[in-house]
Amino acid sequence: MKKISVSIMGEKFELELEDEFFEFVKEDLFKLQNPTPKDLLFLILQKNKEQFETIKEINSILNKIDQA
């Protein structure tokens, strides 16, 4: 477990994250330290797009399984 302090928009957060999850979100946490509105928008849109594409791919696989 990693204990980290993150300051976002003037508010400080103390987080405990599993090591693997920390490595997964580390870049996003750095981006959030001093974000511009553009950074926040693209971060949100990027994550939503990745989630959308993952769900779309899972549904495609499930449809193939149903057709088999």
For tokens 């979100």, what's the residue?
25
Beta strand residue intervals within 1-68, DSSP E: 2-8, 11-17
Does residue 30 sit in the same domain as residue 41?
no
> Residue 8 contacts by C-beta under 8 Å, 6 or more apart in sequence?
32, 33, 35
What pLDDT, on a 0 to 100 scale, did the predictor assign at position 50?
Answer: 92
State the pLDDT at residue 59.
97
Same domain, 30 and 46: no
Q: Sorting pLDDT into bands at 50, 70 and 90, what band is 65? A: very high
> Which runs of consecutive H residues, i.e. helices, occur in 1-68?
19-33, 37-67
pLDDT in tens, 7-34: 888 899 999 999 999 999 998 888 888 8
Determine the structural domain holding residue 45 and report its residue range: 36-68
Please tell me the distance from the alpha carbon of residue 22 to that of residue 5, in angstroms, as a whole number.
12
Q: Structure pTM?
A: 0.62
pLDDT at 33: 85
Q: Is the same domain home to 27 and 46? A: no
Query: Do 48 and 22 have their domain in common?
Result: no
Q: How many domains does the chain have?
A: 2
Residues 30 and 45 reside in one and the same domain: no
Q: Note whether 27 and 40 are same-domain residues.
A: no
For the chain, percent of residues with pLDDT exceeding 70: 100
Do 2 and 29 share a domain, yes or no? Answer: yes
